[in-house]
Each structure stands twice: as C-alpha cells, then as structure tokens.
Amino acid sequence: MDAILPVLLFVAIAAAVSVGLVVFAELVGPRRSGAVKEMPYESGMDPVHDTRRRFDVRFHLVAITFLVFDVELLFLYPWAVASRSAAGIDAAVAGGLVSSRGLVFVGAMLFTGLVIVGFAYDWRKGVFRWR
C-alpha cells in the first residue's frame, strides 16, 4: 500500500486541479455569444465554401513530410542518448546483442542518409514552397 499511495495521491491532485480549472473557467469566463462564435470552425479555415471542396495536395504533402521528420527524431534520439552513455551501446556489444559499435553507427548513418534523400526529394518537388 505504501508504494501505491504516491500514485493515488498524484491522480487525486491531478483530478482536483482539472475539475477546479474547468469550474473556475465557467465561473469567471465571459458569457457573450454571437453569430461569429456560433459559426463552425475547422482546420484553420472558415467554412464559407461547399463542404465537399477538395483540399490542395500540398496540404497533405506538408503533413506527410512532418510525420517523416518526426519519426526520424523518434528513432535518432534514443540512439544519440545510448551512444553518449557508457552503459548504452557498449553494454549491448558486451552482452552480445550487437556485434560491434561501428555497426550501430553505420545503421544510424544509413537511416539519416535515407531521411536526407527524402528531404532532397521533398525539396525538389516543391513541398516547402508555400504559394
């Protein structure tokens, strides 16, 4: 019970703060409404056109490019942290999980090279040019 008490206390305080902030906002916040506030709003654009209007392909290309570079960071960050500490990659080599430290480095550089090729492709296709 002593091990779970801090977790329960954290959950109780987080719930109390969440509920308190919502109640405080309802009590203190403005209550003015109007036609502009009642209008739907989506994706940063006012809905003044037909709902079946097509989006420009560039919107999707930018979203996919963001995902690619976000995933790259997710893969490279643990590698950078592991290569920095003595207990990281060296421990994996000593434990027989990896044959050599150079193999891990080559794998990370190959991955980075593929992402750079993807970046060059996006650049040539004009994804980063906002018209």
pLDDT greater than 80 at residue 37: no
For residue 42, give the 3-state DSSP assignment: strand
- Residue 104: count other Cβ atoms within 10 Å of its Cβ: 19
Determine the pLDDT at residue 118: 83
Given a contact cutoff of 8 angstroms between Cβ atoms, the answer to whether 86 and 129 are in contact is no
Distance CA(93)–CA(88), nearest Å, equals 9
**Would residue 43 be called left, alpha or beta, if left means φ above 0 and alpha means ψ between -120 and 50 degrees?**
left
pTM: 0.48
Percent of the chain with pLDDT over 70: 85
Instruction: Quick: pLDDT tens for 90-127.
Output: 777 778 877 877 887 888 889 889 888 888 888 888 87
Q: Is the pLDDT confidence value at 23 over 70? A: yes
Q: Does pLDDT of 86 surpass 70?
A: no
